[in-house]
Homo-oligomer: A and B are copies of this chain.
């Protein structure tokens, strides 16, 4: 990679971060190139698809999330570890609006530049899930893909302006559906 290429690459990612923060995951690629003072074709050679740009943009955060899952795997109790990671995942997709749609479609498309990240996140969560299932604190009839789907759907929900204020509250409802002990479900706790 030549020096000028490297400089453009880094600068494009920095600018993309700003633009995507403002306009969400379907920000204009043209706008990014423009604000980076770079030819539009230059952007598209560095990042041939929108997914490729987001892969570069999110790689570090994705690796962090996977690392956090590994660390939580040795922390107890397993159900709390699962819920903590779920919460981290939701916080992650909230950083940029609309990225859970990208991850969801990438998960089903092996050719997507985000496919590797998508499946890595799914299986990181799956490991925490099976550990809680082995303990009996997570319901046994869901798998990693189900968990990933629920996380994506909840990420979509909190990304909707009208629903965002309900995020914290509905977080307990969703995690209450995944866990069996009702630890985050006040109603069921009262029934016991």
User: Which residues of A are interface residues toward B (Cβ below 8 A)?
Assistant: 101, 104-105, 107-108, 139-142, 145-146, 149-150, 152-154, 156-157, 160-163, 166, 169-170, 173-174, 176-178, 180, 185-188, 191
User: 8 nearest interchain CB pairs?
Assistant: A108-B162, A177-B177, A153-B157, A139-B187, A149-B163, A153-B153, A104-B160, A156-B156
Contact A104–B188 (Cβ < 8 Å): no
Least CB distance, A99 to chain B, in whole angstroms: 14
Query: Which of chain B's residues have a CB closer than 8 A to the CB of A104?
Result: 160, 162-163
How far is A146 from B141 in the complex, measured between Cα atoms in Å?
Answer: 25
Contact B187–A166 (Cβ < 8 Å): no
Least CB distance, A160 to chain B, in whole angstroms: 5
